[in-house]
Structures are given as structure tokens and as C-alpha cells.
Amino acid sequence: MKSLQRTLFISLIVIVLTPAYHGVEIIGGHEAKPHSKPYMASIQCNKKKKYEHYCGGALIRNRWVLTAAHCECKGPVQVVLGAHSLSQNEESQQKIRVKKQYPHPKFNKKTPDDDIMLLQLSSEAKTNKYVKLLNLPKDKDKDIKPGIQCTVAGWGQTKSKTPSDTLREVMLYVIDRQTCNSKQYYNHQPQITKDMICASDRKGREDTSMGDSGSPLICRNKYKGIVSYGPKDPNAKKPGIYTFITKKYLDWIEKVIGVKTYNMTTEDLY
């Protein structure tokens, strides 16, 4: 039995932590209002002489995007800001090459621990009504109560298993860590720590998946988490796992960027 559990766990890690198929993202949900989430970044990796959407992220400074560490790309990377449709050459879009990727030094692909990464852009993003910064948490270690409603947005797969060209969003609810670690849920495989958030819809019909990795989890208009880990298909007993942006990570971000990120000027989310 232990051998079977270990095999299933390793298989899940391979499926979820390695975003090999760029088109898998929001399952269910609905199309977002165009340009209603101006902080969203499409992270695109060039593997076949063409940039393709790979992960999501959030613009937190003019030269910095925050995403998940397992979204690290071995080839050239660019981010697209100000987009609603990725196939259309929208005038609102800004395409900027990534100068350097900074995955958290303690991240290990075998677990979702420390699944957070900074992308340094080669030039500054120009903020306007289509492109805005997303504030990092100012309340630092304040936890999120179970049952709170959150949203995640991303480009990609829908219920019909076909990629979406336009930005979609899904509504989720926070699940307490004790429940998420219980035998009926993840059974500590992986261990849901205080640096993670569990969230799903209440019927197991909608969720995030691989290609949505790195996208921001917004709870009560606050940036609280990063899409990290979850099953290939929505499952009420296998909720999505999100990196919780705690003081530990804020301190690391400050060290990399060189500014006190949680004292940034307020920007409207919408």
C-alpha cells in the first residue's frame, strides 16, 4: 500500500509540478471582463522558435513579475502584459524579454514547498489603464480564514479541454489545512504547511491546473497566494495548493529586488 501511495504521489508531482503542456489552465469558470485584471502576466517560453504561453504571473514592480518556481524555463522567456486575447495583436499589450529568473533557493521539484520565483524584466513595464502593479500583502503573516472566497485568472483549458484564447477566471473557497491534510484529502502527501493555502470550488467542478501555475490568488481584493500544485482535473477532495505569500517570502523578495515591497504605493486592483 505504501509503495502504491508513493507511486501515485510521484506521478502527481510529475504531472503537476512540471508544466510540460503549455495549454492547460483554468478548468470551468468564465471569461474575465477584458482588461479587468491589469496586473496579469502571460509568461511565455521559446522552445520551438516560437513564444508560447507557459505560466501565469503578476507584475509587482515595473521590472519584476512574481510567479511559481516550477515555471522556470530553460529557453528564452518573455512576458506579455496588458493582454486579454493572446492571439490578437492588441494595442494594449507589452511584450518584454526576461533578463533573469530567480527561483527560490530552497525550491525542490519533488515538493510544492517554496514554489515561488521572481522574473527580472529586461526593461521597465509602462503602467497605464491596461498594465498596473499588484500590491504584495501588507499584513504579512495574517492567515486566511477557511471559507473565504478567492479568485484566480488565467489563459487556457476550459471544461471542453480546449485552450482558451482569452483570460478566464474561477471562484474558489479556502479550505483549512487540517482538512486538506486529512486522509480523505491529501493525507500529508504532500504536507500542507503554514506556507501554503488550500482552495477549491465547493463541488469539485472548477479549479486551476498546470498551465495556470504562477497566477495570483486574490482573496478579498488582496494578493495572497500563487498557483502551485493540484490534480490534473478538478477534484473536491484534491483542492488546489497555493504558495501563501508570508513574511518569509516577502523578506526574500525584498532581498532580491532590494526594496521594501510591502510598503509599496497603493494601486487599484481593478
Annotated active-site residue in 22, 70, 84, 104: 70
User: Which H or E run contains 249?
Assistant: helix 247-257
Annotation says 104 is catalytic:
no
Cβ atoms of residues 155 and 57 within 8 Å? no
* Total residues belonging to the chain: 270
Residue 106 has which C-alpha cell? Answer: 530552497
Query: Is cis: bond before 190, omega within 30 of 0?
Result: yes
70 an active-site residue? yes
Query: Is 115 noted as a catalytic residue in this protein?
Result: yes
CB burial of residue 83 (10 Å; 0-12, 13-18, 19+) = buried
Cell of residue 239, nine digits:
483542492
* Radius of gyration in angstroms for the set of CA atoms belonging to the chain, rounded to a whole number: 17
CA–CA distance, 61 with 54 (Å, rounded to integer):
21
Which one, of 153, 122, 120, lies nearest residue 37 by Cα? 153
Q: Which of 42, 164, 209, 213 is catalytic?
A: 213
Identified catalytic residue from 114, 115, 201, 207:
115
Q: E strands within 104-250?
A: 117-121, 149-157, 163-175, 196-200, 216-219, 222-229, 240-244
Distance of CA 192 to the CA centre of its chain: 17
Q: What single DSSP character describes residue 235? A: -
Give the residue numbers annotated as catalytic, written as ranges: 70, 115, 213
